[in-house]
Amino acid sequence: MRSIAYLASGLPLALAATSGQFNVLSFNVAGLPAIFNGNEVPGDKTENSEQMGAKFTEYDYDVIHVQEDFNYHAHIYKTDQHPYRTATSGGAGIGSGLNTLANYPWVGFERVKWETCSDASGSDCLTPKGFTSMRVRFHEGVYVDFYNLHADAGSKDDDVKARSANLQQLADYIGTNSVGNAVIVFGDTNARYTSSGENIRVFGSEQNMKNPWVELILNGVEPTEGTDPWMCDNPTANNTCETVDKIFYRGSPTLELSTTFWSYVGTKFLYDGHILSDHNPVASNFTWTLSDSLRQSDMFGGPHGTWFNDLTSVPSSATGQNKPSKITLKGENRVDSIGLTLASDQSYTHGGTGGDQSELTLKEDEYWTQARLCQGKYNDHTRIFYLLATTSTGNTVSAGKSTDDCKDFTAPDGWQIVGFFGQDGDEVDQLGFIYAPQ
């Protein structure tokens, strides 16, 4: 059984930090075989790739997204020392070329192929381009959803249509799979704000995201669509020019995200005075700060089923009519469903319809403060097998059957459990808790 250490104040040690910082790098590494695309980059591609990996280690960016990481992938990883790295999906024609190298762990990694592609200007349909998603954990209960993308290239009408469909597909995916979450999207969009017909603004208009380049460098004013492109040298020291490599971000009700720096950093990625790729790498620094009114726990269980997050509907205050008044659990061999009802009769329920029901009604001065979750394998998927809820007065209610793989959760001192987030289907696959002050 895992345990949680506490400070003298009663605050769980893992939840003691309320702010932090990290930086990111987006780099199209030009990893197509030289016979197909030399990219007008001097030097040998194998040596260039090893130099990139060495520089990734030297500069130690916290989360690096690479694109076109095809046939020289092993040479980048040979000299890189980041502790967390995605496995390649294959060379050109087989894989997407999208990989991530990071100093922090993640859960729920997925590769998604674009539904639309165009060969009007090249061979975009030759390889399964698309995007990746992962939920990066920076601290106890501090998750940010990261997306890496490489959109359709070219400037012909069919290319622009395919690229716009790509960006819309990713925005729609975020709208479903990152509800209530902080999000950072970065990679090769192959789009410019200045180009006509581009859908690059979809992340801002539909997913409430900002671009650090626009925010910090252009003072919040986007370039005008349909105007001449703001071309960049490679490398460049001119941060006001525009490339297709971009970063977008948003915070969440529990996590404020702010950007403090954005720049092209191509001058850091030179070898014997020459560039290593035909793309300028882009870097940005972020700070995160936990909310004073809502917090989240870690997650437990498996990344299966449909994503849910009560943060989109939890009241800003958990007192009075908004205070939780009843816990409802269903289960037999596993946890089938979880539910929480407020004094106002508003309720949150997740999971399926099976299992035996157990309820616990909370008194006016009683709060749900602790939970124990146990997980196990069912049909090759990790699911939540057991949930034990304990209140501030020591009352309990449970569902399912305990296993030997369990984790305890405790709300910070003076806080309570007011909602859930995770993934579900016929049962509860993954679960975390939302905390609010008592």
Cα 203–chain centre separation: 14
Structure token pair of residue 95: 């894989």
Cβ neighbours for 165, distance < 8 A, ≥ 6 positions apart: 114, 115, 116, 199
User: Is the pLDDT at 49 greater than 70, yes or no?
Assistant: yes
Q: Report CA-CA distances (Å) from 259 to 210, 213, 288, 309.
A: 10, 10, 9, 25
pLDDT tens digits along 68-91: 999 999 999 999 999 999 999 999
Q: Looking at residues 311-337, what average pLDDT do you find?
A: 96
- CB neighbours of residue 279 within 10 Å: 25
pTM of the model: 0.94
Alpha-carbon gap, residue 32 to 35, rounded angstroms = 8
Distances (CA, A) of 419 to 255, 313, 328, 404, 431: 16, 9, 12, 26, 10
Strand-strand pairing, 142-150 and 106-113: unpaired
pLDDT-derived band at 316, boundaries 50, 70, 90? confident
The structure tokens listed for 313 are: 């509907």
> What pLDDT is attached to residue 16?
58
Query: Above 80 in pLDDT, residue 1?
Result: no
Which CATH number is correct for 19-290, 3.30.2010.20, 3.50.50.60, 3.40.50.740, 3.60.10.10?
A: 3.60.10.10
pLDDT at 2 over 60: no
- Mean pLDDT score, 255-260: 98
Which amino acid, residue 273?
G
Architecture of domain 295-437: Aligned Prism (2.100)
In this structure, of 36-40, 176-180, 195-199, 338-342, the range with the lowest mean pLDDT score is: 36-40
Note the pLDDT of residue 39: 65
Alpha helices in 38-111 (DSSP H): 45-59, 73-79
Tokens for 126?
């030759």
pLDDT for residue 13 is more than 80: no
The pLDDT value given to residue 17 = 83
Q: Does residue 3 surpass a pLDDT of 70?
A: no
H or E element in which residue 407 lies: strand 406-410
All structural domains of the chain with their residue ranges: 19-290, 295-437
CB burial of residue 314 (10 Å; 0-12, 13-18, 19+): buried
Q: Dig out the tokens for 144 from the structure.
A: 């940010």
List the end-to-end C-alpha distance of the chain, in Å, as a whole number.
28
Per-residue pLDDT band at 11 (split at 50, 70, 90)? very low
Query: According to the model, what pLDDT value does residue 38 have?
Result: 63
Question: What are 154-192's pLDDT values in tens digits?
Answer: 999 999 999 999 999 999 999 999 999 999 999 999 999
CA 23 – CA 64 distance, rounded (Å): 9
Paired tokens of 170: 């990713």
> What is the rounded average pLDDT of the residues 390-401?
98
pLDDT of residue 37: 66
What are the C-alpha distances in Å from 268 to residues 52, 88, 231, 233, 329? Answer: 10, 25, 20, 14, 55
- pLDDT tens across 267-277, in order? 999 999 999 99
pLDDT tens figures, 102-149: 999 999 999 999 999 999 988 899 899 999 999 999 999 999 999 999
Label residues 89-123 b or e (16+ Cβ within 10 Å = b): bebbeebbbbbbbbbbebebeeebebebbbebeee
Average per-residue pLDDT for the chain: 94
Share of the chain above pLDDT 70, in %: 95
Q: Exposed, middle or buried, 258 (CB in 10 Å: 0-12/13-18/19+)?
A: middle
CA gap 255, 68 in Å, rounded: 32
Strands (E), 2-73: 19-28, 63-67
